[in-house]
Structure 1
């Protein structure tokens, strides 16, 4: 078990938790966040035990993990991470797929920027009209139509083109995210089915799954070919949305470029900005 990683995660969460958020007086403090004594009191354990956990000298039970998560009032993503580092499945073990208020605000505020929100398994759950205006995400009726990893490795788009280097970065991130999701949600049957199916259908994905590459970049460039024949080159940046275990992908063009002008034309042609909930989580 990753005792030291679990301990480091607990310490970081303790030190980044404002006393006021857990019902404690702020007062004058000489340390960041909560003291070990305060976390111990909130979680029903001694400060010495908290110290041993943080130093990787004690392995927590599932009940201890839950108690610490409740005491610190952590979001879902941090709770799942603590469970995974301690070697346990989360209480329900399912990938959350509800778009939270933070993700919704991103989609609402960046109306001229193509964007989608995906869950930990890379299922797209919501898109804005600027993203749909690119016209490249054609649907085939496959159960995994809205899964980014599946479409990349098993059912690629005709209107999506990348250089070899950008494709390598893109593929590496997708595999890394799915591996991390499986660690956090080992009981999610649909996630397991997605990985099994993708490994069966794609030799490249199977190789990367068995021998993963280190992630060196969380952005890549691609040319999006519109059905009218025109293309626009955009850079995708992946942004984490803490708490809901979601991520947002924003697609932008170089300022003042011909691609930026072309993107503005496509977005304008889409009409009034809208947000669309999409996606299917596997077969059925």
Structure 2
């Protein structure tokens, strides 16, 4: 039985409005999100089969059914990938690498004016440069983990100007990882620890949020240099390692660029 798949389908169905998928929303509508009948019609499947899927009683649904449901529920690319992971239709994934190549670690050290760090699917911090250690006080150390840091460490409480979005993103990435790596005991232990120690994590995890943020803006209130408005880019490293290179930079000529320069001098 695939209870996680069923729970994810129900959660997404409750979040999609009729307008999102081109349906009319009448004034007497009482349910939140879409009705099962509406999803079944949009996906071209029977209501009975959708009920079985949501109850976790349908084993190995076909790829075509999953694709139809992804369209019917207006899933993002990350949510679609998670749906296929839960359905057992994902490609066989290589075992994630545990260490960072020496050449990559050396490259980080040469990036003097760009905070850069390497993380894995669990958001463990595997390698970093001096400026990223200064940007994230207390994160960049042996055994550091970005999700644990964001939810549990006091240093992170005031660091992010938009902390709730950072927390949602962290949970979304862990949810995506849990579908891709269901047999990872360290990931399971991390999720269990955060569920016990953080009420906010428990609430977000129950919502089955799936996010994969690869670029965007992030605002900081740094204890040393104050306000920083940075752009981040995340790159999947080649070779099936499951690792990502995360970089941050400021707009050229901006006050944040000067502040980042000051932070580099301070960290030196």
Give the TM-score normalised by structure 1: 0.54
The CA deviation string for residues 139-191 of structure 1, in whole angstroms up to 9 with x for no partner, is 8x9xx96111111112231684333xx22321121111111111122221111
Find the counterpart in structure 2 of residue 259 from structure 1: 256
Following superposition, the deviation at residue 205 of structure 1 comes to: 0.7
8 Å CA contact retained: 2:175, 2:210 = no
Find the counterpart in structure 1 of residue 169 from structure 2: 173
Say what the alpha-carbon RMSD is for the aligned residues: 4.0
User: Could you tell me how far apart the structure 1 residues matched to 2:236 and 2:134 are?
Assistant: 24
Equivalent residue pairs, number = 191
> Where does the alignment leave 5 or more consecutive residues of structure 1 unmatched?
3-54, 59-79, 272-284
**Aligned to 1:190, which of 178, 186, 190?**
186
**Aligned to 2:236, which of 233, 241, 252?**
241
8 Å CA contact retained: 2:173, 2:210 = no
User: Could you tell me how far apart the structure 2 residues matched to 1:132 and 1:95 are?
Assistant: 24
Task: Determine which structure has greater relative contact order: mean sequence separation of CA pairs < 8 Å that are 6+ residues apart, divided by chain length.
Answer: 1
Following superposition, the deviation at residue 244 of structure 1 comes to: 1.9
Find the counterpart in structure 2 of residue 154 from structure 1: 152
The CA deviation string for residues 31-81 of structure 1, in whole angstroms up to 9 with x for no partner, is xxxxxxxxxxxxxxxxxxxxxxxx9369xxxxxxxxxxxxxxxxxxxxx99
Following superposition, the deviation at residue 193 of structure 1 comes to: 0.6
- Correspondence 1:56 to 2:63: yes
Find the counterpart in structure 2 of residue 23 from structure 1: none
Find the counterpart in structure 2 of residue 211 from structure 1: 207
Give the TM-score normalised by structure 2: 0.57
